[in-house]
């Protein structure tokens, strides 16, 4: 899958559309989901052009990967979620219903989230 530079998160990264920013560093941007599924629902994205976690894990530099993982943990701590817990997930491709083709981790918390998946 080639990267589509017109996806909505690419537009956010270029400053063409606004976001409710939560965190930013050299490699990472995080912002609140526009349709939150829980009291805390943050999307964490790398600044590099990666379609999904599959693409990122294969092509990103060690520095980008470390920055991304550290940022996710820091955001969870900064939101005060470490002690009560939270969930991270990333949808990859068709079977997971990935809607935006730029890697994003959903960081969700602030309430009891229940089991991860309903029964098949």
Among 43, 45, 60, 75, the residue binding ligand AMP under the rule CB under 6 A is 43
What are the strands, taking DSSP E only, across 1-120? 21-24, 28-32, 40-46, 86-89, 105-109
The 45-84 site mask, x for binding ligand AMP (CB under 6 A), equals ----------------------------------------
Among 10, 28, 98, 103, the residue binding ligand AMP under the rule CB under 6 A is 98
Return d(Cα 91, Cα 97) in angstroms, integer. Answer: 6
Among 13, 19, 44, 103, the residue binding ligand AMP under the rule CB under 6 A is 19
Enumerate residues 6+ apart whose C-beta is below 8 A from 52: 1, 90, 92, 93, 98, 101, 103
- Would residue 106 show up in a list of annotated catalytic residues for this protein? no
Could you give phi then psi for residue 54, rounded to 5 degrees? -60, -50
Active site residues: 104
Residues that bind ligand AMP (CB under 6 A): 8, 19, 31, 33-35, 43, 91, 97-100
């Amino acid at each position: 899958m080639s990267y589509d530079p017109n996806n909505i998160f690419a537009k956010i990264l270029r400053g063409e559309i606004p976001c409710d920013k939560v965190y930013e560093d050299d490699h990472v941007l995080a912002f609140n989901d526009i349709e939150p599924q829980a009291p805390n629902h943050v999307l964490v994205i790398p600044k590099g052009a990666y379609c999904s976690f599959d693409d990122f894990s294969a092509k990103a530099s060690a520095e980008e990967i470390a920055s991304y993982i550290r940022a996710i943990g820091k955001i969870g701590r900064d939101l005060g979620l470490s002690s009560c817990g939270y969930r991270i997930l990333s949808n990859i491709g068709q079977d997971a219903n990935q809607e935006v083709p730029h890697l994003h981790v959903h960081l969700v918390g602030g309430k009891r989230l229940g089991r991860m998946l309903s029964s098949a």
